[in-house]
Structure 1
């Protein structure tokens, strides 16, 4: 029989796991966005070598399973004398891996900016750096809110993989609770429901932000 008392009894452990998930997610979102910006600027650079490095980064980290990257950092690097705790491993791995996806979205958004806008700015004598900083990047960020939002939602869901390196985030906490109570159905049903509600709320907020930023623009959507 379905027993909700298990959830109430271990609610504190779930909350502790959620706090770890939330903090790892927040730091990783910031880190991946910054990585994405740097790689994007590399991709659109007029320097061929720098541009190729940027594209190589995107292609590399988009084609390596995330769990392999996590295992390499947590289990592989110690062979070289580099020891990183599970929490830092999670933030580092997510920032590096998701940064590649952010870079690709930002690059595409920058390339979609109308050339006439750039040419108009150049006619006023603005430098390339100033044009990107004041004109191109704000337009690209506005257009990339939804795809970036989807990436960040997926990042939050991907934190569940970090339980494989002993980080007791939400999924890790659920595994411990299920093992202690022998009630995996209730525990994982609650976990499933929690992630569903969380992603729905985040999707709604992203849609609201997108609508607000584009309220003065007519779109096809």
Structure 2
């Protein structure tokens, strides 16, 4: 299939809207309960910490909705791929060495779901506070398998380097031991399925990236 047009994809966030609405209600409830003059100092401290955590995630939800609603997140054109979530840089198709097409099987157990919820919450809080990259969080194979179902992994050619200037870029652009980089395109909450997006990326790369095999490229 010849791919010549430009494609733009926006956020589609019904899950985020629902979570934010629930967190808003929880924040209001915790704030109300914490004002009731009952219990000791320990209970009030626990309620305050729960209120602060709930309010933080509520703020992140509203901030994400306000920032990205009706805005193009991901753009693909004959010139390359641009993911505005980690910067305005365009990755040329000639800079892509390979694309991981088959993600591992996802673990859908209740324990894995709970671990994913806690892990994503911690990561988002760290990003929002601007300290991501200064701490180390142990890897988890279950979480890795889950992330591979919600993202597309792209390996860049030697000589291509993308600056990791923002917390989001440090999260989605990783350095390999051989000096190359791999880029993770998150597919969660986009108005396109992972399969559709992967098919477009492969078509673009086959059409516009094969002409420069082995040549250096910059992004």
TM-score by length of 2: 0.28
Looking at secondary structure, tell me which structure has more strand per residue: 2
Looking at secondary structure, tell me which structure has more helix per residue: 1
TM-score by length of 1: 0.27
